[in-house]
Structure 1
Amino acid sequence: MDTLRMETGAAIDRAMGALVGGALGDALGMPTQLLSPARIGELYGPVEDFVAPAADHPVSKGLAAGTVTDDTEQALLLGRILVASGDGFDHTRWVKALLDWEREVKARGSYDLLGPSTKRAIDAINDGVPAEEAGRSGDTNGAAMRIAPVGIMMPLEPLDALVAKVAETCRATHNTSIAIAAAAAVAAAVSCGVAGGDWAAASDRAVVAARQGAERGHWTTGGDIAARIDWARGLVRGNAVTDGIRLIVDLVGTGVASQESVPAAFAVLEIAGGDPWRAAVISANLGGDTDTIGAIAAGMAGACAGFCRLPQEHVVRLKGLDMAQVRALAADLVAARMAKSSRSGKDAAA
């Protein structure tokens, strides 16, 4: 019993690391998203801490320094739906939650923070398109940015079960081969971290999961996610941070396309050596979709490092995040993971 309690406690710590690490990357990249590296330098200098966005920022103006955005909010929303759904996935509840969340975001005046695939799918659902069809053109990074709870809940093995759960959660908004492959890569990395793996092992498992994910959903054109993750990691390996950032910006790309931002996040993880805060800082200075790249990279790093190794002096300054709720969600997701692992073990023994 003591051993199980210790294993559960370690898993919850890593689950918290994934969720809060993602929030750190999201909040640090909030004021720099959509800006060029040159403009980031002009407005803020090198971003090494939370800063308030410029007064004329296209989407983040008015937010306080350290505020999380849609990346974190949608991840927590998905996590709650996963827990409530049990062994299945309640698509009706998920779509309703997204629609309710959309209305709340609009009320806050921040509708432009929605990603293009999610916005398009939600608009389609509002117009009466069935949820299972609404996501057939969603190929951007919205699924990957919020997928961490699936990685927390699903054991790494059997991998096809994890990838199937990823695909299931993608159906309403990102039901394409590229988006599912990207989300599967991130979920596998997080799952590996929660299981005790380090960041390098997590990246390796991500490539395998991406290959499986690419076989699901509606096929869409674009670079192969698994190949691009592997290439991006090798491209920056051994480079100094400044050189690594230049390679990511010039060659990998930092846009909302899954085949840019997700490989970019794995390249950031490589440069950062698995350090969550360093990953968040690097991401914030890339330009482009900085908050999402930061959320993904720092979330994966956080899953491997654990909450206890996150910089607590920065964690306490996050805004828009209820830590008690995050802790409860992490515990619920880990409990579901342990139950699945227990059943899988019994099945194997039988």
Structure 2
Amino acid sequence: MKVLGMLYGMAVGDALGMPSELWSREKVKSYFGDITEFLDGPKENDVACNFTKGQFTDDTTQALLILDSLIENDFIPSEKLIAEKLIEWAVRTDAFENNILGPSSKAALLAIKEGENADILTRKALTNGAAMRIAPIGALFSTAQNKELSEYVFEVSRATHTSDVSIGGAAMIAYAVSASIEDKSWEQIIEGALNIYELASKKGAETFTASIPERLKLGIEFADLYQDDEETFTQKIYDVIGCGTMTSESVPAALAIAYYAKDPNRCALICANIGGDTDTIGAMATAICGAKYGYDAIRKDWIDTIDSENSVDLKNYAHFIELHKPQFKGV
């Protein structure tokens, strides 16, 4: 039930964070007060206005599209197949026109669609498109497979993201899911995520960004220092670590929030209210908490809403992951 908890955690965190996506913390507070349930995307929010309550966004959708490509190709990553599925979805849903895709994914996929070489774009991709959709990949690996996991993260991300920070950040989220499924302690989860960054980031093209590991260490300090003061903790994450769309902000923010909240329901609500890239941070952080505590830890009414408002069967995806994982030998 941990794989299913990861999938529903990702979807719940995404859908709860959808209405406040890319709004400032102050605007979230003034408009919503406190988000406590699924809400429609406000007409005033250019990014969320086309979504209704309980619908998840492109974060979860892209994660499932990647799973579709892997299921179709016997879990062998195919850059071409992944790109085709992402482009087909983007065209079908008008994602290119409706401000649904992130900037790095949009640029790379448009280039591929036009028959151009996207490498120059993917090598400079600093935003969180690779990390936001990577959680299910963590469920395919054990924590003893850091090398294999890092390579697989690169292969499933390379259609849109091949920079050091995007691959390293995505690997941190995937590792945290793996460690959570194995029920490692929170200290072990964070330590392992810090360790895999150096290995995975070397697979990507060199960029200049703030250090994700150093930001995560600081985020964990805030979590420990303000464990009884959620408002101060979340303000520190927003002000110092950052909650924007850059991988170097949203990944350490998500990991620190997961460590702080632990409970997936609390985690999703913290992310929805924090401001910034709320749906993506929510998808990443709550996937980790869902993997740690399992399907039964997530509110049943939230699960029912996800099922009723989205035309996908997450249980079927969990079945494919569970079926494949025992035979998985990496890349």
Please indicate the TM-score interval, normalised by the length of the shorter structure: over 0.9
2:310 paired with 1:332: no
CA distance in 2, matches of 1:198, 1:65: 34
Helix, strand or coil at the partner of 1:205: helix
Helix, strand or coil at the partner of 1:47: coil
2:243 paired with 1:259: no
Q: Which residue of 1 aligns with 2:216?
A: 229
Q: Which residue of 1 aligns with 2:273?
A: 285
Structure 2 length-normalised TM: 0.93
Q: Which residue of 2 aligns with 1:54?
A: 42
Contact kept, 8 Å, 1:21 with 1:295, in 2: the verdict is yes
Structure 2 spans left out of the alignment, 5+ residues: none
Superposition deviation, residue 154 in structure 1:
2.1
CA distance in 1, matches of 2:97, 2:279: 15
CA distance in 2, matches of 1:87, 1:311: 31
CA distance in 1, matches of 2:185, 2:299: 18
Structure 1 length-normalised TM: 0.89
Q: Which residue of 1 aligns with 2:285?
A: 297
* Paired letter, 2:216: I
2:198 paired with 1:211: yes
Superposition deviation, residue 199 in structure 1:
3.9
Contact kept, 8 Å, 1:139 with 1:258, in 2: the verdict is yes
- Most deviating of 29-38 and 84-93: 84-93
* Paired letter, 2:248: Q
Counterpart among 163, 166, 170 of residue 176 in structure 1: 163
Contact kept, 8 Å, 2:153 with 2:171, in 1: the verdict is yes
CA distance in 1, matches of 2:274, 2:66: 27
Contact kept, 8 Å, 1:25 with 1:299, in 2: the verdict is yes
Superposition deviation, residue 198 in structure 1:
4.2
Counterpart among 164, 177, 181 of residue 194 in structure 1: 181
Q: Which residue of 2 aligns with 1:269?
A: 258
* Paired letter, 1:177: D
**Map 1:22-37 → 2, pairs under 5 A:** 22-37=10-25
Counterpart among 12, 20, 33 of residue 45 in structure 1: 33
- The 1:30/1:213 distance shift into structure 2, 3 A limit, reads same
Helix, strand or coil at the partner of 1:153: coil
Counterpart among 68, 79, 101 of residue 91 in structure 1: 79
Contact kept, 8 Å, 2:153 with 2:167, in 1: the verdict is yes
CA RMSD of aligned residues (A): 1.9
Superposition deviation, residue 286 in structure 1:
1.1
CA distance in 1, matches of 2:73, 2:120: 21
Helix, strand or coil at the partner of 1:140: coil
CA distance in 2, matches of 1:105, 1:204: 39
Contact kept, 8 Å, 2:19 with 2:45, in 1: the verdict is yes
Q: Which residue of 1 aligns with 2:54?
A: 66
CA distance in 2, matches of 1:204, 1:322: 37
CA distance in 2, matches of 1:312, 1:257: 32
Helix, strand or coil at the partner of 2:274: coil
Identity %: 32
Superposition deviation, residue 263 in structure 1:
0.6
Q: Which residue of 2 aligns with 1:244?
A: 233
CA distance in 2, matches of 1:296, 1:152: 13
Superposition deviation, residue 236 in structure 1:
2.6
CA distance in 2, matches of 1:189, 1:270: 10
Q: Which residue of 2 aligns with 1:6?
A: none
